Amino acid sequence: MSFDEKILSAATRNHSRTVLALDLENPDPSQLLGKSMDVLRGVKDTICAVKLNRQLILGLGLRAVTESILKLANDSNLPTIMDAKLNDVGHTNEFMARTYFDAGFDAIIASPIAGWTDGLDKVFSAAEARKKGVLLLTYMSNPGAEEFYSLKANVGGDLQKPMFEILTQRARDWKAQGLIVGATKPKIISRVRELVGPNLPIYCPGVGAQGGDAKAAVEAGATYLIIGRAIYASPDPKSAAIGFRIEPNA
Ligand code: XMP
């Protein structure tokens, strides 16, 4: 199954558009692993995918993550996303993408700013060869995102477009499996949805702790919601995850 098929199947089975961002912090690796596994075990039937950041890989090591968290996700039929925000030249981008894919991740997050030639081209070919996904940052969820993602750029002649619209077009041209747009910015989600049409998935981080609203994001066109602290830092992660459930076809 491709990444797209896996996430859609998990979303349908678990009645959920929630991608769990498992970003716990603890200086003691065994506590970090234990708590991360407890959270995932508790919510695995209420989410559609798991997203890991480099901070967890730094704390635990890739091998330990593969043998524990990725294995549990895999055994639970949940696809895994590596939030690597790749943004380097081709050969190092390719090495990182291959390493994460071969460790078992189903998709990777990259920044389109490196451009195609000897930038993201090799990430997309590594993904294609393994039936994995590439998700591209299109508009980040933090307040500072406006500084660059809304900047007007010249796209030929006098035509000025905000950067995120150009990135949206690139994501389509490069055949990304999804775009990432902050849930904190429903108007931007609507505009991106208008530009890409109904089928390309839009992933929205920033629900809960950053102030984004799950329903407003979905109404604006979000396909999946990336949620971290509002679930894993809750005294009852499972109930919190149940509270964020939205049917994939609602
Ligand atoms: P919280 O705890 O705020 O965590 O729910 C959000 C998660 O999403 C990630 N994040 C982003 N990832 N583009 C991304 O690719 C973004 O604009 C963005 N904003 C937040 C963050 O790393 C955390 O895992």
Residue-wise DSSP of 88-136:
S-HHHHHHHHHHHHHHT-SEEEE-GGG-IIIIIHHHHHHHHHTT-EEEE
DSSP code at position 144 = G
Q: Which of 25-34, 152-161, 208-217 has the lowest average pLDDT? A: 152-161
Atom of ligand 1 minimally distant from the CA of 181: 17
- For atom 24 of ligand 1, which residue has the closest CA? 21
Q: Catalytic one among 44, 51, 71, 85?
A: 85
Digit-coded pLDDT (tens) for 46-89: 999 999 999 999 999 999 999 999 999 999 999 999 999 999 99
Tell me the average pLDDT across 179-191: 97
- Within 8 A by CB and 6+ apart from 188, the residues are 139, 164, 181, 182
For the entire predicted model, the pTM comes to: 0.97
Per-residue pLDDT at 128 exceeds 80: yes
Per-residue pLDDT at 219 exceeds 80: yes
> Distance between CA atoms of 231 and 174, rounded to whole angstroms?
33
Q: Please, are residues 41 and 13 in contact by the beta-carbon 8 Å criterion?
A: no
196 CA to centre of ligand 1 in angstroms? 22
- Which amino acid does the sequence have at 234? S
Tell me the average pLDDT across 38-53: 98
Opening angle at CA 48, ends 243 and 101, nearest 5? 145
- Measure the CA dihedral 117/201/16/109, to 10°: 10
DSSP code at position 213 = -
Give the pLDDT confidence score for residue 193 in this predicted structure. 98
Backbone angles phi, psi at 31, to 5 degrees: -70, -40
DSSP code at position 15 = T
Tell me the average pLDDT across 163-185: 96
Atom of ligand 1 minimally distant from the CA of 210: 3
- Within 8 A by CB and 6+ apart from 143, the residues are none
- Which amino acid does the sequence have at 71? K
101 CA to centre of ligand 1 in angstroms? 20
Give the pLDDT confidence score for residue 111 in this predicted structure. 97
State percent of the chain over pLDDT 90: 96
Per-residue pLDDT at 155 exceeds 90: no
- Within 6 A (CB) of ligand 1 lie 21, 23, 53, 83, 109, 137, 140-141, 180, 182, 205-206, 208-210, 226-230
Give the pLDDT confidence score for residue 147 in this predicted structure. 93
Per-residue pLDDT at 159 exceeds 90: no
pLDDT range class, residue 168, cuts 50, 70, 90: very high
DSSP code at position 150 = T
Write down the residue that tokens 């979303």 correspond to. Answer: 11
The answer to whether residue 122 is catalytic is no
- Which amino acid does the sequence have at 37? M
Give the pLDDT confidence score for residue 18 in this predicted structure. 98
